[in-house]
Chains A and B, each alone.
Chain A
Amino acid sequence: MSTCNDRRDFMTKAALAGGALAGAAGIPEPAHAASKQTPTVELLKVGVVALGDNSHMNYSIWAPTINPEEPEIWPIRSTRMKITHCWDRDPALATAFASKYKCEAVKHYYDMVDKVDGMIFAGFNECKWWPQLTKPYLEAGIPCYINRPFAYSMKDARFMVETARKHNTPILCTDEREYIKEAHVGRWKVGELLKEGKKILGVNSDNSAGYEYPQHGVHGLYFMLAILGLDVAEVSLQADGWWREKTPTSPHPMTWGTLNLHYNGIEIEGAGKQTKPFVATQQQLSGYGANAGMRIYHTNGWWDIMNHWTRGEKLNRLYYLFFPTIYAIQRMFETREMQWSYDYILQKTRIFLTGFKSHLDHSGAMLRVNDLPEDWEAPSPYPDWIDERIFG
């Protein structure tokens, strides 16, 4: 913090000194300072749902980067979005959030329809109820960011996608490790390897998963999928648990685990195609020295990439790790274009659920992605998080 304060002090003093110097020397003020006019681009009004535990709207992660009401964490307006309304299952929490970020708490989860340009469903604990919570907005055509892991069954996933498709509503389900530059560079590198005629032989990866599969373990899954694509034949989650603590649905806290993806091959349009299968394995860790990393072994050696922890000011972590996702959300709200198609979201969810089923029902054996039953449902670690009476 001292570094942060020192830097702000320096910048403040420097600005004052500069202004004094300019005035004293009779140097004309810059045009923007003289006009005093603020650009009048209309901000996008955003509603947010789920503000408490395990939500990106908590812990000063996403909220201050959209509504810059915590200057010590995020000093400037950086997006075209403004959170105008919020809802949480806990009204007191919603009120506190509204007070902190200068927005309005609504009474019912559906009260933001017609009031906002986009919705951010930011929680994790509420994922089990995303189909109900998102429905009014999907039907109203309001673009929705729906937090990972999107759904606990293909039936739920399909319900949301079909509702969105029917009403021409753009949706986004992603996470920050799908948008960090290492994911983009990794994808580019795979394309280069294919162009050069090299084959991928195997992939090792690490993900700082906090010993949770559905919440932070999914970061690693999305990271691998972003780089290697979706042509996954089989999945296994080999672990001694799937959640970091014991809950009504999680009998054994997770202390170790690997996520294994058996790829049929890989194809990138314009780059090339590999039909040789390979396995990508990812250790799901806690306290690992990086957010995510990957080593790709190919027919001419290997290639590494890693997203290290962002140390120093919190701003660094928010900017380099989380902010690209915020931009992706805004881009969808603004353009109504989906970067990842409905089918991509469905397949991504299917792969996630297949891993879950491998762990729960098959002791970590490899399961075919295409064999996942539509109505198979993964557990939420907090199955009573939402009082379902709110849905009437």
Chain B
Amino acid sequence: MKLLNKSLIYLSVSLFFIIGVWSVVFYFNLLSEIKESVDEGLDNYKRQIVATAHKDPSVLDKNNFDDGFFVIREITQNEAFAIRDTYLDTSVMMQDADDDKPELEPVRMLITAFENNGQYYELRIINSMVEEDDLVEELFAEALILYFVLMTLIILINNLVLKRLWQPFYTFLNQLKSYRIGKSFPQVNTKTQEFNDLQKAVTILLQHNVETFEQQKQFIGNASHELQTPLAIATNKLELLIEKGNLKPEEAENIAEVMHIVERLVRLNKSLLLLTKIENQQFLDNQTVSFNEVVKQNVNDLEEIAEYKNVKITVSEKAELTAQMDISLANVVVSNLLRNAIFHNLENGVVNVEISENAIVISNTGINAPINQQKLFSRFHKTQNDSNGTGLGLAIVKAVCDLYEFPITYRYQDGLHIFEWNIK
């Protein structure tokens, strides 16, 4: 989930509760405020009525609420003394302007007592009150509206402001995603301290990685170079020894074995050097390469080997395929793929090479099961019948393909192992 949406969820949930609680508190405050003000009004009325009663005793006869908002009842002195000024919420049957018949309306009532010319009276004054359920309904609606307005605004602000604030982060992230060793480090262009810190941290991490990678590459390169001279000495000394002759058959056999081992070392070393060179991009003498020619040349070179292995190679050229590439690397890829197809084949097997407008597809018969594509291209991956190989052939192929961004894929289909090399 995006950060933006996540923060929105937190905001909406907390806002919901905040506004909910606030509405309840607001409701009770409002209600008590209203009552206070109504009570004050009732108190004023009381003093007015008491004053009026002095001048005009007829008001003392008002004993129901039908045509007024107060009633007066005569009481004894004792009763009068027992009465304290009390305000209470009650309801009275009355007809409002908006009602068609009288109904119970919530009112605020003041019960009090007063003395007029030695006579004691009880006075009840009412004032209509807000209807509480109306108030609750109204408040609830208002709170909901407030909530939605707030949320809409927050979403808008979030989208505009936060997106703008996070923009450098996303740019940085995209650069980081497409980063490959050897390219320039991702840059962030912002004054936001956190993003600048992030960039610093990432840069340090990448620098460290690049250094390690370079060191490793250099080590393999140097080690392989240093091995070249000793291997040359071993090869040449053994050749001279054999040439000298006078060897017993078992001596010759032993020497031959050692020679094979040295040759294997030489092959391994050369392959490692080649890999290092490809990764260091030391080739790249790019020119227009005709892959039809490259394929034909390599098929021609491998003819005798295929014949010896009883493998039939067929080439079908559907189009002329050319691309910008280092010719020796093009040869390495095609040769390695062809050799791979010939050596991991069956007796009387076939190798088909198809050249189309933008791909070379090499398919061959072989063991009756697909090979794990991940392992296939990894270094030193060997199948069982390949104890003499370096296990670097397809790794070299992959390295070249990665370098030129010409993807190579493997699949097993209808009993054929198929390598498809897309060029361009």
A and B bind: no
